[in-house]
A and B are shown apart, each in its own frame.
Chain A
Amino acid sequence: MDIPRGNIIVMDRRRGKLRVGQGLIQGLKVVWDHWAGSFHKNENFSQIHGTFTVEYPDERLPLPQTYRNMPVLLYDDESGHELCTGCYQCQRICPPQVIHITQAKDPVTGKMVPAATEFIIEYDACMSCGFCAEVCPFDSIKMDHVYELSTADRVSLTMRKAQLNRPISYYASIAPDLWAEVQAGAMKKLQGSIKRRPDVIGLAAVLTEKIKARRLELAAAAAAAPAAAAPAPAAPAAPAAKLTPEEKAAKLAAMKATNANKGVAAPPAKAPVELSPADAKAAKLAAIKAANAAKQAGAAAPPAEVPAELPPTDAKAAKLAAIKAANAAKKAAEQGNSE
């Protein structure tokens, strides 16, 4: 007995007729058919017989493109820039208020920059409503398809920006049609915001880490190199037609370092002033600059080399190093002046 799906079965109670248990037998037959049919798997989910069970860890159903689980942040594969501009739209609309954004500022001017320095989503309280993805004007937040998120503790479900970043290519792979719809607009808006982003602000967190490491390397190399030989070989990277984001950033840093080298007459006291932006990178840069300045000022100033060699892992250490370097530079300058 095949019951077409989606139809309402109206049972005929057969009032007035003598009922002697035929209905019970009919019911048993239906169940028997299901039992007998359940020994083969129901593959297309269109019949009413067969086992429907998907044995989950072993086999998984393909998820539809519009499936949504948890929000993630997209960044551009090519430039490494995040699509997010820190516009707070998602933070405002989020019903359980689990999105927390810190707007980026230009370290030099102190102005707002269309990027987010920190972006936190508390996955443990997120309810997967998808409002953030819908409201995002830059198509930066998208809903991920990953659903195996369980952890042993609550804290590890608080996702920071580095954990939320996904390349666009990933999103295009899980939801190609959805991405194709918005791709043109999103990329155009991204180009616009990239123009307004100084330095490395707005780069994906995974890249900034690498850039940081690379910069330190370069800075150390530059510091170790003799001052006279500095200008030309400081930038080892050739000006190629197409640079990877890392190389680009590295080049930038190297250029800055050489600029500092060139500025012989630059007053060493400038270094602490530049520390005002509470940014690690800026501080580090300042440190490097100060060190270089110190080297320029006094040839016989060995302590100045120390801070450059320190591996400044975090902002505080960097700041400390910068201050030390500045002090050392000042001392060296005084010595030089007195001599």
Chain B
Amino acid sequence: MQDVVNQVINTTFGWNWPSWAIALIGYLIVAVILFAIAPFQMLFLTLYERRAIARMQDRVGPNRVGPEGIFQPLADGVKIFTKEDIVPDAADHWVHFIAPCVVVAPTMFMFVVLPWGPGMVPVDLNIGLLFFFAISSVSAVGLLMAGWASSNKFALIGAMRAVAQMVSYEIPAVISLLALVLITGSLSIVDMISYQGGLFISSRDVASVPDWGLGWFIFTPVGFLAFVAFFIAALAEGERTPFDIPEADSEIVAGYMTEYSGMKFGLFYLAQYVLNFLLCAITSVIFFGGWQGPGVGWLYAQAITPVNPQGGWVFNVLAGVLGVVYFLSKTYFFFFVMVWIRGAFARLRIDQLMDFGWKFLIPLTLVNVISAAVWVALTKWGAADGLAFVEGWSPLVRWAVAFVVTLAMNLGAYLYLARIFAHSQAERERLDDEVLESLINVV
């Protein structure tokens, strides 16, 4: 973006603006584009979710406003804008007012490191992944503010639940990504995507594999387990249905949103759907190659890049469009999976949620990190690193050995932990029964 701005201002118009002004303008343009995209994602996703969940429940969903109901979100938006903004008398007015902003702002921040296509990333931070999750944890503060400032029991309970859930499930999410960071050797999201070229096997692991843009992490045992764990954690962080305890309508009205109305409520809604979009996007980026797909790599190689200044701009456009199409279709597929899970499963109880997160998911992801280390050792290390027996193996053999070993490790860990977890649940029930017995004896 800055190259284009520089080209236009300094070469075409010849104004000779300083580089920081160019950078500022470039970032501003990108920011404006992203701020326009985010609400539209939310509008689209609400309609998408309502239509999809309706089909799963043998209904049709909203289809009256516009063709196939595409203007339904706009109608909802108009409705929400015209609603009265009610603040409870006992509320802490300033905190009540700021809370929605604190919830929305981090989701907007998270767009900063999200790559949309080849070369289409607002900022390629070398700690992008960490940035993403650090920022996402900030919205927990906003939720707590909202719950506390409303001075409402339901709101406070909802906020407490939301924060406990977000803080707990951030750990498995980050640890499962840590495994892939180990394999990639970088925290930059762009690096993670470029690692995933190839055909079922990453070309970085085995150089002879043709680059079809299909060397996704999901095809490795480490990546698969990380994906499952991460997606579950993402469901919990986005407060999607099996984990929608914070806003369980049937128990605590609407959780931390209970005392909000009008556009403040709309902001919470916006934050939630944008966060869901971002979680789906990061899932598709990290486990499914983001914009990687057949054709994109080849097209991008022909385009104007810092590496290849003599390319054709047509290829830039083509690679960009194809990349964005791949990326968005993957993202929307994962949103569909979220809706699918919402249609299928019932809500967990808070203690079940915590048990599952701490006693099952975190150990599983920790084992996965060890598997990732084994994978790195088997595919990358040589005699110099103290792994002499791999000398003479071809990269494909090393890859295959690593695949089998990590698969065995992960599968074993999964089955063992499932067994342990089932036992612990049974033990818990037994303890509950004991408490019941003691109550009876007292009476």
Q: What are 15 A-to-B residue pairs whose CB atoms are below 8 Å?
A: A20-B414, A21-B418, A24-B344, A27-B344, A28-B341, A28-B344, A32-B340, A34-B58, A34-B343, A35-B52, A35-B343, A38-B56, A42-B58, A51-B60, A53-B58
Q: Check B126 for interface membership: any CB of A closer than 8 A.
A: no
A interface SS class: loop
B419 at interface, CB cutoff 8 A: yes
Cα of A52 to Cα of B422 in the assembled complex, Å: 39
The residue among B55, B63, B345 with the most chain A CB atoms within 10 A of its own CB is B55
- If the complex has contacts A19-B422, A27-B345, A35-B52, are A51 and B59 also in contact, measured as CB distance less than 8 A? yes
When the two chains form the complex, which single residue of A18, A21, A28, A51 contacts B58, counting CB atoms closer than 8 Å? Answer: A51
- Give chain A interface residues in 23-41, CB to chain B under 8 Å: 24, 27-28, 30-32, 34-35, 37-39
B415 CB within 8 Å of chain A: yes
CB contact between B340 and one of A20, A28, A38 (< 8 Å): that residue: A28
Query: Chain A interface (Cβ within 8 Å of chain B)?
Result: 18-21, 24, 27-28, 30-32, 34-35, 37-39, 42, 49-53, 55
Given A24-B345, A30-B344, A31-B340: A52 touches B418 (CB 8 Å cut-off): no
* B57 at the binding interface (Cβ < 8 Å): yes
The number of inter-chain residue pairs (CB within 8 angstroms) is 53
Rounded to whole Å, the gap between the CB of B240 and the closest CB of chain A is: 14
Q: Could you tell me the distance in whole angstroms from the C-beta of B282 to the nearest C-beta in chain A? A: 22
Complex formed: what's the CA distance from A89 to B39 in Å?
62
CB distance from A3 to the nearest CB of B (A): 13
The verdict on A18 contacting B344 (CB below 8 Å), with A35-B56, A38-B56, A49-B58 known, is: no
A247–B367 Cα distance when bound, in Å, is 98
Q: Is the CB of B418 within 8 A of A19?
A: yes
- Give the Cβ gap from B343 to chain A, nearest Cβ, in Å: 5
Q: Report, as a range, how many residues of chain B touch the other chain.
A: 10 to 19
Q: Which chain A residues border B340 with CB–CB below 8 Å?
A: 28, 31-32, 35
Contact pattern, B 37-59, Cβ under 8 Å of A = 1, otherwise 0: 00000000000000010011111
Q: Which chain A residues lie closer than 8 Å to B418 at the CB level?
A: 18-21
Q: CA–CA, A86 to B341, complex, Å?
A: 61
Q: Give complex CA distance A49, B57 in Å.
A: 9
- A-contacting residues, B108-162, CB 8 Å: none
Q: A35 vs B59: C-alpha distance in the bound complex, in angstroms?
A: 10
Residues in B whose Cβ lies below 8 Å from that of A30:
344
Chain B, range 50-102, C-beta contacts under 8 Å to A:
52, 55-60, 63
Inter-subunit contact B58/A31 (CB<8 Å) = no
Query: For A18, A32, A39, A51, which residue has the most chain B Cβ atoms within 10 angstroms?
Result: A51
20 more A-B residue pairs beyond the given contacts A19-B422, A51-B59, with a C-beta to C-beta distance below 8 A? A18-B419, A18-B422, A24-B344, A24-B345, A28-B340, A32-B340, A34-B56, A34-B57, A34-B58, A35-B52, A35-B55, A35-B340, A38-B55, A38-B56, A38-B58, A38-B59, A39-B55, A51-B55, A53-B58, A53-B60
